[in-house]
Structure 1
Amino acid sequence: MTDIDQIASRNSNSKRIAPDRISWDKALFAPRRVALVGASATPGKLGYLFMQNLIAPQSGFGGEVIAVHPKLTEILDRPAYANLSAVPGGVDLAVIVAPPGEIPAIMVDCAAARVPVAIIISGGFAETGDAGRMLEQRIVATARSGGVRLIGPNCFGVISASAGLNASLGIGMPAQGGIALYTQSGAYGMAAFTQSQEELIGFSRVVACGNKVDLDETDVLQAFGEDPETRVIAMLLESIGDGRRFFEAAREIAQRKPIVILKTGRSEAGRRAAASHTAALATDSAITLSALRQAGIRVVDDGLTLLDLAAALDRQPPLAGRRIAIISNSGGTGVEIADLLESRGLQVPKLSEPLQAAIRPVLPAYGSAANPIDVTTEWRRFPEMYGSSLAALIDSDETDAVVPVLLQRSALMSEVTDRVIAEVAAARARGSRKPVHVCWVGSDAAEDNRRRLLTAGIPCHAWPARTAQVLALSAPAGRSQPRGATARPVARPPIGVDGGWLSSDLAFSLIADAGLPVAPWRIAGSRAEAIAAAETLGMPIVLKAEQAGLIHKSDSGGVRLGLVTTAAVGEAYDDVANRLGTTTVLLQRQARPGVELVLGARRDATFGPVVMAGLGGIWVEALGDVALRLAPFDDAEALAMLDQLKGRALLNGSRGQPAIDCAALASLIARLSTWTAGAPWLEELDANPVIANADGFVVVDVRMRVSASSNDVQAQSRRGTGGETPS
């Protein structure tokens, strides 16, 4: 009898099925009855550790914990049953720590008992090879047939602080707070657990998904988004399954709750083999990071910053702007943190004379009220100087955040801590939402003061660099509002079912249809045809070789510029034909000089259609100055792409050159995005260069690759049709 047959048989005979099956997220985060399958009465075994965690009085779980063991009837004073089918009344959550070979039968029991969700802690599945992968597939099939959702296998577990549930490898219960943490790494879950106790970080939920055979990052993100206990979402992602689905969910949730993500696995060995500029620059990692930021997510580079930033956003509101005020008892440290803040895109503005006049009376004559505010070394006056300055800065509309630097003596003085806490509390009582972050440079002797600040909801960051990093990431993360752009369907070009690179003639025709301005062109198959084409187009002429497999034509000697006579055209044709062995060339009238840009598109296997824009020409890959967005998007998003470029000043006019019409350029990029999103057959497009000058824009070279026709339907599901997303 198959696993599914067993489920059907048991369902028809069982009287023990729970009559009120609840949703998987409610069962995971607020279960009424939890069964530990693989429970043990032997200290040191995994089943014993989990049993202790589930029933620990300090955790405060108010539901019922049931042990499942094939022989014992009681474990740690809790009833034990031989299997799930024997448990009366049903179970909301099954936590499985049994050997992997036993789990198929356990999953039959879960499905027959209509358990809403199971956490499989055990390893020994796909991570071990083909045999483990087949075992994993069998378990998933059984679970789906019975409507059981799965976390894991091979995972750290789940914590739900408000429910007092510790179904994880972590010992003890973290403080309750507003951070929901999702991680694919069990080791990071353990590290975060330890760090949270040291830094007094509070969690609402912790979910470690392991192999994520069923419930994945998007499912959990959506659950966190709807969770009233969660104020901030933090995620460590090693991979993203359905990138487009994750993007759409994150873009909507980020409007309501801050999302902080660390994406690991960012190395790019594959870019060395890229066939085009778009493929070399729009790498998987670059697309992922761009998509996350486009959705309004705060992206960090390391696990410590992930926790630092999430904790700061849980304790204090995000920055509404980028203007930072600093109070310090060390002039040098004040300058150091000011430099670090400005290097990360924040501002440390000089305060107005009226605001300085309000602060100056509490400072020594040799102090400074300009910003950074230097209270000097008059330590007996620290409480008043820090307190009064902080109050004035919180109430001022000239700043978006305030950073008191508590260094050595000021960190040691409990009176200073008392004043900082009191002023922040008073500001909150007045309705202020201006964030206050402490830069902490204190010794172990001052640890009690640091912990009091954290308990009062005031972030304390060790040293100026860490402070500046978190503040920069707390600043506005970009627009996460859904865009109104909509894809327009584009018919597949006439090419074989195997797809491949299109001829330049067909590629130019397609992008012209997309609404991009292209330089007039002609195809010639002989010297005479080339000369005739040149006469029709008008001088000066550019001649380019047309040859299958020729990727970078200029590197191969396949491009001739500035041809001003028919004789020169004929000589160029002969030279290219002899050098490359081709008789077909493309001719264009040479465009006026201008800023060389690159526009590109590709269909990413995870995120679907992506558009690239940046500085182009022969140095495009060396410069790497491009911006990426998931398509489709509107003109405003395209303009944000241009603002992201390091060479943005070139578009504004440089060294006597006229400015480029950036609004028109943004419209052109947005138009390309809607066309790309509607062309599921498009694998890759590379328009380089696109010459921009005072006259407008013109595409002078393009390459386009089409997918095999069998891939079009699959691509269609990730095309990203745009439109408004309900909020």
Structure 2
Amino acid sequence: MTAGTSALLADGDMVTVRRLRAEDFDAVLNLHQRLDERDRYLRFFTAHPGRLDLLSRLAIEGTGIGAFRGDDLIGIAHYRPSSGDDAAEVALVVDRAVQAHGVGTLLLEHLVSLALAQGIHRFIALVLAENSRMIKVFSDLGLPCVIGRGGPELDVEIELGEPNRYLERIEERERLADVASLRTVLAPASVAVVGAGRRDDSVGRAILRNLLDAGYTGVAHAVNPNATEILGVPCAPSVSSLDASVELAVVCVPAESVPGVVEDCGRAGVRSIVLVTAGLTATPLEHRVRELVARYGIRLVGPNCFGVVNSAPATRLDTTFARRAARRGRIGVVTQSGGFGIALMDALAGLGLGLSTLVSAGDKYDVSGNDLLRWWRGDGETDIAVLYLESFGNPRKFSRLARALAREKPVVAIRGASAPAAQRAAAAHTAARAVPAATKLALFGQAGVLVVDTVTEVLGLLAALSWQPLPSGSRVVVVSNAGGAAVLGAEACVRNGLVLPELSRKTQDTLRRLLPEHASVGNPLDTSAAITADTFASCVTEVLADEGVDAVIAAGVPTGVGDPLAGLVAAPESKTVLAVRLGQLASVAPHRGIPCYADVEEAAAVMAKLSERTRWLEAGEGGLPDLTGIDLATATRLVGAYLSAHPSGGWLSRKDGEDLLGCFGIRVTRRRFGDRELLVRGQSDDVFGPVVVLGLGGIDGALLDDGSTGLGPLSTDDAEALIDSLRASKALFGGNSALDRSALAALLLRTDRIMELVPEVVDVHLDPVFVSAEGATAGAVRVLVRPRPWADHYLRRL
């Protein structure tokens, strides 16, 4: 925190929070001197405190942090540790001009994080009973707070830590502040296009044209020192020379001109910038731009992006340089690939679907996928969220935010770069850090995000999510007028993990009365080719009425008799229906409220994704289990003793490794023959946190590449999903298997808990893990420890 970090206040304004230094003395003294008599009385218990210079020096010499707006100090919080205790006395003061904007709460959150890193676990404070505002700040923080009663001065005691309630309060405060700050990005009252060009082929001119064609409801400005007007919009030579204020500036000037434009915007009071220009990252220009937006408190989209969209009727904003203005719809998109965003815009328009919002994040200096997850959660214009992200700045926050949004709205992600060559391309494209494919999939899967690989796949899934209800399960019947299509459809369903149920006797009897004698009444249902569209539709209706059926894939081939799909119509409150018209040119097309695909494989893959979402929603939150028998004190002493003797870290001895596992209730046994051998490995990633891998062990592990990955902290459901994700899971634990599945799940949870509670443990390798009817134990263990500073992944910061 020495260099400072940008964070948002409740109203969306940006401040810099950093440790106080000796050179801040004059600023601290000035803040104390600016307090009126009432605030001085509440802070110092007297309206006329003596030696303000001494009190200011104490704030700096203790552990103190300040909130700065530009160069102005607007609030401070500091503590002094109590002697011989893990407690500290805390004090807080905020400039009256910004009180009730969340400055005090933000400072306390950062002070809590700093205290925990220094081994402080309790704050104490003395507050006047009449200081109701300060009492509310303490009590609303979200941490256990005890306030003494019975006199003019109240004792306040706050227990620090990371209970779920505190994290929830932090996240809610951050969500409200973030949404408030994004208003000037996605719903600005005024926009200036800086670099609007006179040539028809210029990016700036295309952006201004789309802004006007979208029917933007605010005030549009053009900035170009070499023109008086563009597309009918008067031009000014700079943002600061405009007669009116500007909330959002869209900047598309040469890279070397960007810092000057950003500084001009800052001086003019611009709140947000969409930086279209590329070529800044990994150059001195990047540092200068980051410095300027932090100094002036500007939210930044990009650089190297293609704009933002908000099609809400009250805004109608389009600052992209796409071929045409975006079509209005209910789908929100955040993308680090401009090409993907443009392709998706065009493809959705061809289906009659459109965008609610789109943010092209580019190199993602500031506004990211996490920001949009917060925006969409409260946005009544968005029904589905789509993500194309090549990097993750804060995966732990992403997981919590995506999980919360996915409980309310479907979230779809493009898998992105996984092969080494693709990851190198992503790094060159947006400076993205390479993320292992298994880790990214685990992040998405645990958060309830549906993953696809191509624009074609995402389009097919969005069509189904937009037009059809979710299936209540995975039982699917394939209905077709062509035997080959019926067989291929059934195979595709099985390949995608769907279940092909038998039709009830009643349904079969009804179908036989509807169909020719040579029709094949089963699953798949081959109606034969010589039937009318009405008969085909009646068959689908009868199958959907079967209580043992969750969904239907209706595959048709037009014949001389007619198009069998012509009679299909989406029915409200009905079960899920996906159609397939073999030979159709478009990969997916609308058909009377039903998505119609060109191939049964694609329809089956989409149906599997819909079923996956149903299962995830039914699984519930899956909170962290309360694991008994953990001796954290002994584990911490054991690791601390090793690091004292080996400051740079290293591998624990076999005995110490086994003792550490014992502290977490994991048994280590000698080699046992006849048990099933697996392997479990936990590794702590600097960005993603604990990563737990389950795989086959022994000869099977050497021959078969079968493993699954989960991200900590693991819930009970996450551990079960790790087991289910093994391709060999059904063979190992299905049917009449005697293997103790629950014991394996418990071992996975305890391995994860080691790294969660003892962050110095960076690698736990259990190979083999013996699983039998009697339980699960480790056959051998290797543990790597390294010194690691305490890190707060949930602190409010940009």
**Partner Cα distance (1:623, 1:398) in 2:** 36
Q: Which residue does the alignment assign to 1:343? A: 495
The answer to whether the Cα contact below 8 Å between 1:328 and 1:375 also exists between their aligned partners in 2 is yes
- Structure 2 stretches lacking a partner, 5+ long: 1-15, 17-67, 73-177, 424-433
- Residue 792 of structure 2, aligned match among 711, 714, 717: 717
1:590-635 alpha-carbon deviations (Å, 9 max, x no partner): 5354111212100012210122223223653543323222222233
Gap change, CA 1:218 and 1:719, over 3 Å in 2: closer
Q: Which residue does the alignment assign to 2:568? A: 420
**Partner Cα distance (1:623, 1:334) in 2:** 33
1:60 aligns with 2:196: no
Q: What SS does the aligned partner of 1:168 have?
A: coil
Alignment map for 1:544-693 (pairs within 5 Å): 590-617=671-698, 620=701, 622-649=703-730, 651-652=732-733, 659-693=738-772
RCO higher in structure (CA 8 A, sep ≥6):
1
Alignment map for 1:358-373 (pairs within 5 Å): 358-373=510-525
1:399-448 alpha-carbon deviations (Å, 9 max, x no partner): 222222132339974xx555312xx2xx30xx33x22211122456xx8x
Q: Which residue does the alignment assign to 1:400? A: 550
The answer to whether the Cα contact below 8 Å between 1:252 and 1:480 also exists between their aligned partners in 2 is no
- Structure 1 stretches lacking a partner, 5+ long: 10-20, 272-281, 520-588, 721-727
Q: Which residue does the alignment assign to 2:19? A: none
Gap change, CA 1:719 and 1:7, over 3 Å in 2: closer
The answer to whether the Cα contact below 8 Å between 2:329 and 2:355 also exists between their aligned partners in 1 is yes
The answer to whether the Cα contact below 8 Å between 2:622 and 2:716 also exists between their aligned partners in 1 is no
How far the C-alpha of 1:649 sits from its partner, in A, is 4.6
Gap change, CA 1:106 and 1:480, over 3 Å in 2: farther
Q: What SS does the aligned partner of 1:235 have?
A: strand
Q: Which residue does the alignment assign to 1:527? A: none
1:458 aligns with 2:594: yes
Gap change, CA 1:283 and 1:621, over 3 Å in 2: farther
Q: What SS does the aligned partner of 2:776 have?
A: strand
Q: Which residue does the alignment assign to 2:533? A: 383
Gap change, CA 1:341 and 1:270, over 3 Å in 2: closer
1:439 aligns with 2:580: yes
How far the C-alpha of 1:50 sits from its partner, in A, is 1.3
The answer to whether the Cα contact below 8 Å between 1:183 and 1:209 also exists between their aligned partners in 2 is yes
Q: What SS does the aligned partner of 1:475 have?
A: helix
Gap change, CA 1:134 and 1:411, over 3 Å in 2: farther
Q: Which residue does the alignment assign to 1:108? A: 263
- Residue 518 of structure 1, aligned match among 664, 668, 678: 668
Q: What SS does the aligned partner of 1:139 have?
A: helix
Gap change, CA 1:463 and 1:652, over 3 Å in 2: closer
Q: Which amino acid aligns with 1:440?
A: R
How far the C-alpha of 1:347 sits from its partner, in A, is 1.7
**Partner Cα distance (1:292, 1:268) in 2:** 20
Q: Which residue does the alignment assign to 1:556? A: none
Gap change, CA 1:165 and 1:407, over 3 Å in 2: farther
TM-score (norm 2): 0.70
Q: Which amino acid aligns with 1:189?
A: G
1:471 aligns with 2:607: yes
Gap change, CA 1:602 and 1:182, over 3 Å in 2: same
- Residue 227 of structure 2, aligned match among 72, 82, 93: 72
1:281-327 alpha-carbon deviations (Å, 9 max, x no partner): x9832122112111111112223212321232122233321111222
**Partner Cα distance (2:710, 2:385) in 1:** 23
Percent identical pairs in the alignment equals 30
1:480-520 alpha-carbon deviations (Å, 9 max, x no partner): 6252347986523422221122221211111111110113x
Q: Which amino acid aligns with 1:460?
A: C
How far the C-alpha of 1:22 sits from its partner, in A, is 8.8
Q: Which residue does the alignment assign to 1:139? A: 289
Q: Which amino acid aligns with 1:158?
A: V
Q: Which amino acid aligns with 1:370?
A: G
Gap change, CA 1:683 and 1:450, over 3 Å in 2: closer
How far the C-alpha of 1:388 sits from its partner, in A, is 1.4
- Residue 51 of structure 1, aligned match among 208, 213, 225: 208
Gap change, CA 1:640 and 1:336, over 3 Å in 2: same
1:127-160 alpha-carbon deviations (Å, 9 max, x no partner): xxx4xx3212211221122221111111122222
Q: What SS does the aligned partner of 1:606 have?
A: coil
- Residue 125 of structure 1, aligned match among 277, 280, 302: 280
Gap change, CA 1:47 and 1:643, over 3 Å in 2: closer
How far the C-alpha of 1:386 sits from its partner, in A, is 2.2
Gap change, CA 1:516 and 1:687, over 3 Å in 2: same
1:353 aligns with 2:505: yes
- Residue 483 of structure 1, aligned match among 623, 641, 646: 623
Q: Which residue does the alignment assign to 1:30? A: 187
**Partner Cα distance (2:253, 2:318) in 1:** 18
Q: Which residue does the alignment assign to 1:247? A: 399
**Partner Cα distance (1:514, 1:719) in 2:** 25
**Partner Cα distance (2:715, 2:348) in 1:** 41
Q: Which amino acid aligns with 2:532?
A: F
The answer to whether the Cα contact below 8 Å between 1:627 and 1:642 also exists between their aligned partners in 2 is yes
1:164-214 alpha-carbon deviations (Å, 9 max, x no partner): 322112112343222212211112222223322333332222221110011
The answer to whether the Cα contact below 8 Å between 1:236 and 1:263 also exists between their aligned partners in 2 is yes
**Partner Cα distance (1:42, 1:116) in 2:** 29
TM-score (norm 1): 0.76
**Partner Cα distance (2:391, 2:734) in 1:** 41
Q: Which residue does the alignment assign to 1:700? A: 779
How far the C-alpha of 1:87 sits from its partner, in A, is 2.8
**Partner Cα distance (2:225, 2:261) in 1:** 11
**Partner Cα distance (2:479, 2:458) in 1:** 26
> How many pairs are equivalent?
598
1:503 aligns with 2:653: yes
Question: Bigger shift: 643-652 or 482-491?
Answer: 482-491
Gap change, CA 1:441 and 1:509, over 3 Å in 2: same
Gap change, CA 1:182 and 1:512, over 3 Å in 2: same
Q: Which residue does the alignment assign to 1:148? A: 298
Gap change, CA 1:161 and 1:482, over 3 Å in 2: farther
- Residue 296 of structure 1, aligned match among 439, 448, 457: 448
**Partner Cα distance (2:488, 2:734) in 1:** 34
Q: Which amino acid aligns with 1:484?
A: L
Q: Which runs of 4+ in 1 moved over 6 A?
A: 4-9
Question: Bigger shift: 461-470 or 624-633?
Answer: 624-633
**Partner Cα distance (1:343, 1:320) in 2:** 20
Q: What SS does the aligned partner of 1:53 have?
A: helix
Gap change, CA 1:412 and 1:677, over 3 Å in 2: farther
Alignment map for 1:283-322 (pairs within 5 Å): 284-322=436-474
**Partner Cα distance (1:302, 1:450) in 2:** 13
